[in-house]
Amino acid sequence: MTEFQRIGIVGRPGSESVKASTRRLAGLLRELQKDAAIEANYADEVKDIGLPTKTIHELGEWADLVIVVGGDGTLLGAAREICAFEVPILGINRGRLGFLTDIMPDDMERHVKAVLAGQYVKEDRFLLQASIERDGKEIAAGTAMNDVVLHPGQAIRMISFELSIDEQFVYSQRSDGLIVSTPTGSTAYALSAGGPIMHPKLDALVLVPMFPHALSSRPLVVAGDAQVCIKIGEDNTLEPMLSCDAQTSVQTRLGDMVCIKKLPHRLHLLHPTSHNYYAICRNKLGWGKKLVD
């Protein structure tokens, strides 16, 4: 497996625990004689570590590996920017859940050393690209690693829309919205809305209605390369929002067409060799453990 020499560091701003782990990580990289640089938007918080700064895109062009110190949300943001450069990402967990950032701070030095020496498990995760078309023209676009969500915004009202998949009409619906999720995102918002958990290796999407008016509306799993189109109903009394990973949002207008499909680039996510997806689910979701060892 690949050994890494040029390491980019991305951190979550505003966290003392993230700063502490970043300083430890910088010291480890110096000890291992690795070239390191820190993402510019985070660099002011850890000026004392003396690393050169680069924008997130410059890190994508320069680094062999990007290490994210923070929570899953920090990694999602980095992944959307780094994905096009095909640079692998490793996550140090300084958040809550840690489905993606699965190296705990107490084990950081041991696992990072092993990964940098080429001992790791690599997973390829796909992302989604979403666009909003108005009068036949694209007026906004975004990417998501977890999910693309159509929702009413701050108002508590149902919205109407029509769903098509691969240019075939599926249904019209009145609900609080629709979640279009990757397997990565199936343990996030889609899960809380009643969607299934999908193993990350699956090449599939899940469409999860949010509080649909018809009780027969259920989550729908489709092929990963399907093109999902949502037409915003003309009879809505509000203009719904479209959100990517709950981090970027755009307001739609009545009659807009939202198109969602797989991004051409894949994210290369690295884990320690001890990585076990089902163990993570047990720990994070409170599943029962083995009755007999």
Catalytic residues: 72
What single-letter DSSP state applies at residue 217?
-
Burial class (CB in 10 A: 0-12, 13-18, 19+), 198: buried
State how beta strands 6-11 and 35-39 pair: parallel
Q: Which long-range contacts (CB under 8 A, 24 or more apart) does 30-37 make?
A: 32/113, 32/116, 34/4, 34/5, 34/6, 34/7, 34/116, 35/5, 35/6, 35/7, 36/6, 36/7, 36/8, 36/9, 37/6, 37/7, 37/8, 37/9, 37/62, 37/63
Burial class (CB in 10 A: 0-12, 13-18, 19+), 264: exposed
Question: What is the DSSP secondary-structure string of 105-154?
Answer: GGGHHHHHHHHHTT--EEEEEEEEEEEEEETTEEEEEEEESSEEEEE-TT
Pairwise CA distance, residues 184 & 177, whole Å = 20
Pairwise CA distance, residues 36 & 8, whole Å = 6
Give which of 50, 34, 46 is closest to 10, Cα–Cα: 46
Beta bridge partners of 17: none
Contact 197, 187 (CB under 8 A): yes
For the CA atoms of 235, 239, 245, 246, the dihedral, rounded to the nearest 10 degrees, stands at: -130
